[in-house]
Amino acid sequence: MTENTDEKLAAPTYPFATLPPEPTLAKPVRVLVLGGGFAGLEVCHQLDDPRYAITLIDRQNHHLFQPLLYQVATAGLAGTDIAQPLRSILSEQKNVTVLLDDVQQCDLDAGQVRTKHQTLGYDYLIIALGAVTGYFGHDEWARHATGLKSLNDALMIRRQVLGSFEEAERLGSEPHDEALLSMIVIGGGPTGVEMAGSLAELSRQVLPGNFRRINPAEAKVYLIEAGPRLLPAFSPELSEYTRQRLENMGVTVLLNTPVQAVEAHTVKLTDRTLRARTIVWAAGVRANPLTSTLKVPTDRAGRIAVAPDLSLPGYANVFAAGDIVSLKDPKGVVVPGVAPAAMQMGRHIAGVIKKDFTLAVKARGLPAPVPRAAYTYFDKGNMATIGRSAAVASAHGLSFRGFIAWLMWLVVHLLFLVGFRNRVIVLWQWMYSYFTYRRGARVIIGAERPQTEA
Amino acid sequence: MTENTDEKLAAPTYPFATLPPEPTLAKPVRVLVLGGGFAGLEVCHQLDDPRYAITLIDRQNHHLFQPLLYQVATAGLAGTDIAQPLRSILSEQKNVTVLLDDVQQCDLDAGQVRTKHQTLGYDYLIIALGAVTGYFGHDEWARHATGLKSLNDALMIRRQVLGSFEEAERLGSEPHDEALLSMIVIGGGPTGVEMAGSLAELSRQVLPGNFRRINPAEAKVYLIEAGPRLLPAFSPELSEYTRQRLENMGVTVLLNTPVQAVEAHTVKLTDRTLRARTIVWAAGVRANPLTSTLKVPTDRAGRIAVAPDLSLPGYANVFAAGDIVSLKDPKGVVVPGVAPAAMQMGRHIAGVIKKDFTLAVKARGLPAPVPRAAYTYFDKGNMATIGRSAAVASAHGLSFRGFIAWLMWLVVHLLFLVGFRNRVIVLWQWMYSYFTYRRGARVIIGAERPQTEA
């Protein structure tokens, strides 16, 4: 446990001004968790005790393993392979009630959460609603450049990519828009690298041989990054290795290339304009828009500036966790928006809540101003996959690349994927793809017809 | 081979009035196949010869294994598990070009097919566009009762079913419409039986334990059949066995119960009205509507009344195959709309085409009026699954039911499923479901929010 250090920084104290709710079976403490991602689920798991009556609200019925979403978008996996019903995950934990609903407003002063369908009270509230695709203030770009945050995003990209190849085959030698077989990925972080690599493999290794009139390998894949290198969270050597591997796979990597505007099938750069039927936005996220209504400090991306114990300033019984949080931890590390951090935060919050009640019980119901522990990020390392047998990883000062990093990536992602059934299926799909150079989910789904226009 | 008997019934003769197209590599015979179902694919497979230049048109990019669609609808399988990209299936067969397009009109006199995007000529045309859900002239019912013919149909039903349980859990003890946890399946054929059985298992075996405020097992499942028994293609004993098994599983089976009208969440019967959030229409299909524009005889369901050789009357170089065909074979058997019949027809048509050219080559280019072979249906038997370890099967005068029939059903469906990858995944999903009583695809997909109103 690395989270409970440096207690002096932690400001908030025991949250209840008057008598605390008794942590008894007869009148359990009401814990309301918003969001069934890694953070929200971890809070639930850690509070597996009938004295806590947990309500978990999510607007999807499933927990989504976002790190593999790019493989759904590029036809390697089915949507259901990386999604697990929240009810099923929590079926054995009888103190959790899962509700499919849409959170619309949190009135922290009144202690109420309003959803699309009802209003709920709580003793503790955990806001773990995650992030959405962020367009740096240019929301109008969203129509033309699809983000990668939900299953519907992934299926939309899959439809666009596969639909473009289908249209090109239909047109054959007829003159057609050069944009048709071009794909642009904006953003050189892990998601952008993984997307671009996977699109290059799809067009170079998977699709050729399946078409008669076009050569899918001639499709252009661009990866556009505003900064000077890919994967800025890694060492410059790994960034350069990644760039070279992607270029060898057929990706055109453009560094120091800020995007000026995104229009229909068009990305405007400083000195030129690129056109593409498929444009994927992997350049940024911002917090769930709900944060703007909370009347608490947020950063530029809308993330909640939480107190060191992860509670909201002024609301000691309200916490935030996961991608929705902006925090520099006691060691001065800016906590990144990754799954391990979300899980650590969830665990920390559950610990704080449990400790609140230990103290309450000790004090025989009298609230005492005890400082809470601060959350400290434990960095397990970073990894990103580039393509077949190629990945980069860095952890605890060590760097890995190539096949060994790729194997590490496989093992870690299989372990973190929720559900034994899903693990077996994903492993099988990966083995199948590895040995046959095929992808198993090349199915255009979700629209009655292929969408030739975005 | 049972198809080439009874040649005396076959009317059409060699199709080309003038010199036939030379079956050479330099000028291959153009075969245009409309539809990538079992019939269309079989034609392609049988004409694996570079002297035939085959174009296969489908408006989906995948071949769909319709017999398992109900498992996608009831969250047992992912859509991609029963769909295989047509390009991938035909990747090794270099004489086939697959085009994703929408057939809009066939001008048989001009020898042209017009699609959404282009106009195509042919030497031979095979119309294998299959069937759509048929509402007996009440197309307005389609809005309220979903058929089960496409992946989108299945995902829509899945959304409705899972969304209803979610809404009921949210409402908890609040008063709510009794229709919420009712499901109605209309039509007592194999699809209706399989749907009803699977819905009963979902609510009785899979979902309980996952909900806190409702008991999913209290959901009502109705199976409505206009005729006196379920599964009329089977023996009365098997029909009765099926009815009893379904009733034991919790399905309310209503026989001799014609549907008078379908409205929003409402099915009107002769003497009463049933209400349900989910209404599945499994009562009938009709041919692809395109047949009404062909100017050839069709039956009441719009199916093409083909000649004994499966050509269209008056168009000896145009064939129809699969569910789009209405035919009483030389033995007097009405050919059913099942996958084995579709595959047999595809094989028969390919045989006729090949024989045409053998004759043409023999006659050194001079057309000779040789009667063609008639297609005869070879009945491999019928099977339908009711639920866990229960199915019925009949073949060649033998009847099977219970566990043995269920095992037969499993093996046959795995064998006919296209693609090794899919077979392994489906087998794994079935094993997982069998031993854990879980379903792996309980993911609401395809709509940003759960649809609480149909």
Q: What is the SS3 assignment for B92-108?
A: CCCCEEEEECCEEEEEC
Q: Which long-range contacts does A286-290 make (Cβ < 8 Å, 24+ apart)?
A: A286/A131, A286/A132, A286/A133, A286/A134, A287/A129, A287/A130, A287/A131, A287/A132, A287/A323, A287/A324, A288/A129, A288/A130, A288/A131, A288/A132, A288/A324, A289/A132, A290/A103, A290/A104, A290/A105, A290/A106, A290/A127, A290/A129
Q: CA neighbours within 13 Å on the CB side: how many for B416? A: 20
Phi, psi of A216, deg, nearest 5: -55, -25
pLDDT, averaged across chain A = 89
Q: CA neighbours within 13 Å on the CB side: how many for A53? A: 15
Among candidates A81, A209, A212 on the partner chain, residue whose Cβ is nearest the Cβ of B97 = A212
Contact A85/B at CB under 8 A: yes
Contact A382/B at CB under 8 A: no
> Measured between alpha carbons, how far is residue B31 from residues A333, B28, B339 in Å?
66, 9, 22
Radius of gyration of chain A (CA): 23
Q: Report the gap between the CA of B247 and the closest CA in chain A (Å).
A: 27
Rounded CA-CA distance A230/B352 in Å is: 60
- Name the residue of chain B whose CA is nearest to A151's CA: B445
- Residues in chain B with pLDDT values less than 70: 1-25, 359-370, 446-454
Q: Find which of A30, A61, A89 to mutate to test the B interface (most B CBs within 10 Å of its CB).
A: A61
Structure tokens at B152: 């989108």
Confidence of residue A359 (pLDDT cuts 50, 70, 90): low
> Measured between alpha carbons, how far is residue B135 from residues A133, A162, B78, B144 in Å?
43, 33, 27, 11
Structure tokens at B332: 């007097």
Rounded CA-CA distance A151/A115 in Å is: 22
Instruction: Check B80 against A443: CB less than 8 A apart.
Output: yes
Rounded CA-CA distance B89/B84 in Å is: 7
Burial A393-429 (b: 16+ CB within 10 A, else e): bbeeeeebbeeebbebbbebbeeebbbebbbbbbebb
Instruction: Check A443 against B98: CB less than 8 A apart.
Output: no
Q: What is the dihedral of CA B149, B150, B153, B155, to 10 degrees?
A: 140
Count A/B contacts: CB-CB distance under 8 Å: 156
Q: Find which of A445, A449, A451, A453 to mutate to test the B interface (most B CBs within 10 Å of its CB).
A: A445
Residue A29, helix vs strand vs coil: strand
Chain A residues in contact with B101 (beta carbon < 8 A): 170
Look-up: residue for tokens 């892990």? A190
Contact residues, B window 103-142, toward A, CB-based 8 Å cutoff: 117-118
Structure tokens at B305: 């009344």
Cα B261–Cα B267–Cα B270 angle in degrees, nearest 5: 65
Chain B residues in contact with A80 (beta carbon < 8 A): 78, 440-441, 443, 445
Phi, psi of A376, deg, nearest 5: -120, 130
Chain A residues in contact with B62 (beta carbon < 8 A): 442-444
Confidence of residue A442 (pLDDT cuts 50, 70, 90): confident
> Measured between alpha carbons, how far is residue A367 from residues A249, A310, A355 in Å?
62, 20, 12
Chain B residues in contact with A170 (beta carbon < 8 A): 99-101, 117-118
Beta strands across the sheet bearing B119-121:
B103-107, B112-115, B119-121
Instruction: Check B450 against A61: CB less than 8 A apart.
Output: yes
Phi, psi of A89, deg, nearest 5: -60, -40
Q: Which long-range contacts does B377-383 make (Cβ < 8 Å, 24+ apart)?
A: B377/B329, B377/B331, B377/B333, B377/B335, B377/B336, B377/B341, B377/B344, B378/B2, B378/B3, B378/B340, B378/B344, B379/B333, B380/B340, B382/B190, B382/B233, B382/B234, B382/B338, B383/B190, B383/B408, B383/B409, B383/B412
Rounded CA-CA distance A91/B259 in Å is: 39
Among candidates A78, A207, A213 on the partner chain, residue whose Cβ is nearest the Cβ of B81 = A78
Count other Cβ atoms within 10 Å, centred on residue A51: 17
So which residues of A are the catalytic ones?
194
Which residue, among B235, B66, B94, has the nearest Cα to B151 in the 3D structure? B66
Instruction: Check B118 against A170: CB less than 8 A apart.
Output: yes
Contact residues, B window 188-247, toward A, CB-based 8 Å cutoff: 207, 209-213
Q: Report the gap between the CA of B134 and the closest CA in chain A (Å).
A: 18
> Which residues in A134-229 belong to E strands, given as ranges?
182-186, 220-224
Percent of chain A beyond pLDDT 90? 73
Does the active-site annotation cover B194? yes
Measured in whole angstroms, how far is the alpha carbon of residue A248 from the centre of its chain? Answer: 28
Counting every residue, how long is chain A?
Answer: 454
Between A230-244, A291-305, A348-362, the lowest mean confidence (pLDDT) is in: A348-362
Q: Please say if the pLDDT value at position A78 is more than 80.
A: yes
- Tell me the residue type at B134: G
Q: Report the gap between the CA of A82 and the closest CA in chain B (Å).
A: 10
Contact B30/A at CB under 8 A: no
Contact A411/B at CB under 8 A: no
Beta bridge partners of residue B99, listed in sequence order: B57
Chain B residues in contact with A152 (beta carbon < 8 A): 445-448
Which residue, among B319, B369, B351, B365, has the nearest Cα to B23 in the 3D structure? B365
Confidence of residue A454 (pLDDT cuts 50, 70, 90): very low
Q: What is the pLDDT of residue B356?
A: 80
Which residue, among A181, A212, A252, A192, has the nearest Cα to A69 in the 3D structure? A192
Instruction: Check B166 against A424: CB less than 8 A apart.
Output: no
Contact B430/A at CB under 8 A: no
Q: Find which of B210, B215, B433 to mutate to test the A interface (most A CBs within 10 Å of its CB).
A: B210
Q: What is the pLDDT of residue A9?
A: 41
Q: What is the 3-state secondary structure (H, E, C) of A4-17?
A: CCCHHHCCCCCCCC
Rounded CA-CA distance B158/B175 in Å is: 24
Contact B424/A at CB under 8 A: yes
Rounded CA-CA distance A319/A306 in Å is: 8
Q: What is the pLDDT of residue A14?
A: 53
CB B131 within 8 A of CB B287: yes
Structure tokens at B92: 């090794």
Rounded CA-CA distance A195/A181 in Å is: 16
Structure tokens at A139: 């929301």
Contact B443/A at CB under 8 A: yes
Q: Please say if the pLDDT value at position A277 is more than 80.
A: yes
Beta strands across the sheet bearing B266-269:
B259-263, B266-269, B273-275
- Tell me the residue type at A33: V
User: Computed from CA positions of residues B276, B282, B286, B287, in that sequence, does the dihedral angle turn out positive or negative?
Assistant: positive
Rounded CA-CA distance B319/B42 in Å is: 13
Instruction: Check A445 against B169: CB less than 8 A apart.
Output: no
Question: Please, which residues have CB within 8 angstroms of residue B28's CB and are 6 or more apart in sequence?
Answer: B50, B51, B52, B53, B95
Rounded CA-CA distance B317/B319 in Å is: 7
Q: What is the pLDDT of residue B425?
A: 81
> Measured between alpha carbons, how far is residue B12 from residues A289, A434, B3, B308 in Å?
69, 51, 16, 9
Contact B445/A at CB under 8 A: yes
Q: Report the gap between the CA of B37 and the closest CA in chain A (Å).
A: 15
Instruction: Check B443 against A117: CB less than 8 A apart.
Output: no
Confidence of residue A360 (pLDDT cuts 50, 70, 90): low
Counting every residue, how long is chain B?
Answer: 454
CB A45 within 8 A of CB A129: no
Instruction: Check B151 against A445: CB less than 8 A apart.
Output: yes
Instruction: Check A91 against B209: CB less than 8 A apart.
Output: yes
Q: Report the gap between the CA of B203 and the closest CA in chain A (Å).
A: 14
State the pairing for strand pair A273-275/A119-121. unpaired
Instruction: Check A450 against B425: CB less than 8 A apart.
Output: no
Look-up: residue for tokens 């949080």? A325
